[in-house]
């Protein structure tokens, strides 16, 4: 009986392997890891924002509309429970993406406004925050791309025959992905210009009046 049970388990293992079970498991784990990295980088960006807003306020307190826009966008992002299960809900994923895109746009507007404040741009703390933000935006882009690719691989695996039968048997379903709508604009990090402001040209002195004859 023991040998028969062992043979049955071995046969089942070979059958599952041949039906794509191992590939589904592997791609599922890769997707989870890629999603975790996306969340880590988005959280890193969110953690930079309070200090960035505080620094800008010190030089450009009158830009309340832009500063409030960044603060509110960050709060909206924070109100969304970004759990590993979120990728299984297309509607929740779309809401998450929309909130992150809104924050990206708000940060871009903030950086544009800072161009009008040379003293702010020369502040070392602000320059450090800019550099960290730029690096984080680049890492977000890389993490998003890896997630997009991993989800495409996983979704293809569970839709293809015969692994789709295995997926149905074990309850594997397609995962939500980032939409490609406005992907180029979303993936482009906010530009950071470290060049010093151009020197102002000296005022032109009026030419002396000609002597009267």
Predicted confidence (pLDDT) per residue in 42-77, tens digit: 999 999 999 999 999 999 999 999 999 999 999 999
**Which residues, including other chains, have CB under 8 Å from residue 117's CB and lie 6 or more apart?**
59, 60
**Which residues, including other chains, have CB under 8 Å from residue 176's CB and lie 6 or more apart?**
86, 87, 88, 89, 90, 92, 93, 94, 151
Q: Write down the domain spans for the chain.
A: 39-187
Q: Does domain 39-187 have CATH number 3.40.47.10?
A: no
Quote the CA–CA distance of 60 and 117 in Å, as a whole number. Answer: 7
Mean pLDDT is lowest, of 44-58, 105-119, 123-137, 184-198, for 184-198
Predicted confidence (pLDDT) per residue in 140-199, tens digit: 999 999 999 999 999 999 999 888 898 899 889 999 999 865 444 444 444 444 344 444
Mean pLDDT is lowest, of 5-9, 91-95, 105-109, for 5-9
User: How far from 91 is each of 19, 66, 126, CA to CA, in Å?
Assistant: 30, 28, 37
Torsion sign over Cα 178, 140, 146, 85: negative
pLDDT bin (cut points 50, 70, 90) of residue 2 is low
């Amino acid at each position: 009986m023991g040998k028969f049970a062992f043979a049955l388990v071995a046969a089942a293992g070979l059958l599952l392997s041949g039906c794509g079970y191992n590939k589904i498991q592997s791609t599922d784990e890769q997707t989870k890891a890629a999603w975790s990295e996306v969340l880590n980088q988005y959280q890193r960006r969110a953690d930079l924002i309070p200090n960035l807003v505080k620094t800008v306020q010190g030089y450009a307190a009158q830009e309340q509309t832009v500063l409030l826009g960044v603060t509110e966008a960050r709060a909206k992002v924070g109100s969304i429970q970004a759990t590993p299960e979120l990728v299984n809900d297309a509607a929740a994923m779309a809401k998450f993406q929309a909130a992150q895109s809104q924050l990206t746009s708000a940060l871009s507007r903030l950086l544009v406004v800072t161009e009008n404040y040379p003293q702010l741009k020369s502040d070392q703390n602000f320059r450090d925050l800019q550099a960290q933000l730029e690096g984080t935006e680049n890492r977000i882009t890389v993490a998003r791309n890896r997630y997009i690719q991993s989800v495409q691989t996983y979704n293809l695996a569970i839709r293809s025959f015969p692994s789709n039968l295995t997926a149905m048997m074990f309850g594997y379903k397609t995962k939500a992905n980032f939409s490609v709508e406005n992907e180029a604009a979303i993936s482009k990090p906010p530009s950071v210009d470290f060049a010093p402001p151009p020197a102002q040209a000296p005022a032109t002195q009026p030419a002396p009046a000609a002597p009267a004859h």
